[in-house]
């Protein structure tokens, strides 16, 4: 029986920065359309993203380079990834949470399924103060963040550390992540996985519901007459 839902944060719980370019431009006072890199939403137009997917650089390297680029656009030197996120998203942190995943998390919790986050860079990107302002995360029992552990997915130790802290076997949990390499690492340790396609979040959440044994709200019939 599935007892826990373990989620990546960026892309899965939060919308990606690619999806919120217009908000970032407004927050930073940049002309509309300044930010052209679109990652998974336009791989052909984002050579750096393709290099990251090919394993030529890490996800952290990708975002550090983008952070520096955006800093230069506003005439500043940004060497910390959290600077970009805090400047772009600090005013309303809850507004960047993905509604489809938020609904899934609340349904899982209501059904008695435990919630955990396994992230490579949650506080590295957001900073602890900004992350603590997100009301949804107060419903999460456990956060394992490589910002502090130093053990990044897809290293098998990242997954086993999370499972050990939950006191569960791999067969007791469903893991959700948007990076193929992290899904491959989770499969290798025996986790049941959902590969989260950020371009189709509703479908990924439906798949997670099926694995968790939760009803699909899209398939629910009309309410019974009184």
Pick the range with the lowest mean pLDDT from 4-8, 57-61, 87-91, 119-123.
Answer: 87-91
The domain total for the chain is: 2
Check whether residue 150 and residue 109 sit in a common domain: yes
Average pLDDT of the segment spanning 95-107: 96
Q: Do the domain assignments include residue 34?
A: yes
**CB neighbours (10 Å) of residue 47?**
10
Model confidence at 216, in pLDDT bands (50, 70, 90)?
A: confident
Domain endpoint, select from 43, 75, 92: 92
Check whether residue 128 and residue 80 sit in a common domain: no
**CB neighbours (10 Å) of residue 25?**
18
Check whether residue 120 and residue 208 sit in a common domain: yes
Check whether residue 63 and residue 110 sit in a common domain: no
What is the number of helices (H) and of strands (E) in the chain?
Answer: 11, 5
Q: Do the domain assignments include residue 225?
A: no
> How far apart (Å, rounded) are the C-alpha atoms in residues 39 and 32?
18
Model confidence at 223, in pLDDT bands (50, 70, 90)?
A: very low
What pLDDT, on the 0 to 100 scale, is given for residue 91? 76
- The CA-atom distances, in angstroms, between 174 and each of 111, 114, 151, 218 are 14, 10, 20, 21
Check whether residue 111 and residue 75 sit in a common domain: no
Check whether residue 46 and residue 77 sit in a common domain: yes
Check whether residue 108 and residue 196 sit in a common domain: yes
Q: Do the domain assignments include residue 222?
A: no
Domain endpoint, select from 92, 124, 139: 92
Q: What is the DSSP string of 120-163?
A: SSHHHHH-HHHHTT-GGGGG-SEEEEHHHH---TTSHHHHHHHH
Q: Give pTM, 2 decimals.
A: 0.89
Q: What CATH number corresponds to the domain at position 210? A: 3.40.50.1000
Model confidence at 226, in pLDDT bands (50, 70, 90)?
A: very low
Q: Which domain holds residue 46?
A: 17-92
Task: Give me the torsion for CA of 121, 214, 139, 23, rounded to 10°.
Answer: 50
Check whether residue 120 and residue 45 sit in a common domain: no
What pLDDT, on the 0 to 100 scale, is given for residue 219? 59
What pLDDT, on the 0 to 100 scale, is given for residue 93? 86
What pLDDT, on the 0 to 100 scale, is given for residue 195? 98
Check whether residue 203 and residue 117 sit in a common domain: yes
> What average pLDDT is seen over the chain?
94
What pLDDT, on the 0 to 100 scale, is given for residue 222? 47
Model confidence at 57, in pLDDT bands (50, 70, 90)?
A: very high
Check whether residue 47 and residue 23 sit in a common domain: yes
Tokens representing residue 141 in the block: 């029992």
Domain endpoint, select from 73, 92, 111: 92
Check whether residue 100 and residue 209 sit in a common domain: yes
Q: Which of 209, 219, 223 is nearest to 106 (CA)?
A: 209
> How far apart (Å, rounded) are the C-alpha atoms in residues 124 and 146?
9
Q: Do the domain assignments include residue 226?
A: no
Q: Which of 77, 4, 10, 82 is nearest to 40 (CA)?
A: 10
pLDDT tens digits for 116-143? 999 999 999 888 998 999 999 999 999 9
Tokens representing residue 16 in the block: 């990606």
Check whether residue 173 and residue 83 sit in a common domain: no
Q: Do the domain assignments include residue 187?
A: yes
Look up tokens 């600090």; give the residue.
Answer: 90
């Amino acid at each position: 029986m599935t007892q826990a839902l373990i989620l990546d944060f960026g892309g899965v719980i939060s919308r990606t920065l690619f999806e919120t370019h217009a908000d970032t431009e407004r927050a930073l006072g940049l002309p509309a359309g300044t930010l052209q890199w679109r990652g998974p939403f336009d791989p052909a137009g984002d050579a750096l993203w393709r290099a990251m997917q090919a394993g030529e650089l890490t996800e952290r390297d990708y975002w550090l380079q983008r952070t520096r680029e955006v800093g230069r656009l506003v005439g500043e030197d940004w060497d910390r990834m959290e600077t970009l996120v805090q400047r772009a998203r600090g005013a309303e942190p809850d507004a960047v949470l993905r509604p489809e995943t938020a609904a899934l998390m609340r349904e899982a919790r209501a059904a008695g399924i435990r919630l955990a986050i396994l992230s490579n860079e949650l506080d590295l990107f957001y900073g602890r103060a900004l992350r603590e302002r997100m009301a949804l995360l107060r419903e999460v029992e456990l956060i394992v963040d490589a910002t502090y552990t130093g053990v990044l997915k897809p290293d098998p130790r990242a997954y086993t550390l999370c499972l050990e802290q939950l006191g569960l076997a791999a067969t007791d949990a469903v893991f959700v992540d948007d990076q193929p390499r992290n899904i491959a690492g989770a499969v290798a340790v025996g986790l049941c996985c959902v590969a989260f396609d950020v371009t189709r979040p509703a479908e990924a959440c439906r798949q997670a519901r099926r694995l968790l044994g939760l009803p699909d709200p899209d398939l629910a019939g009309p309410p019974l007459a009184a």
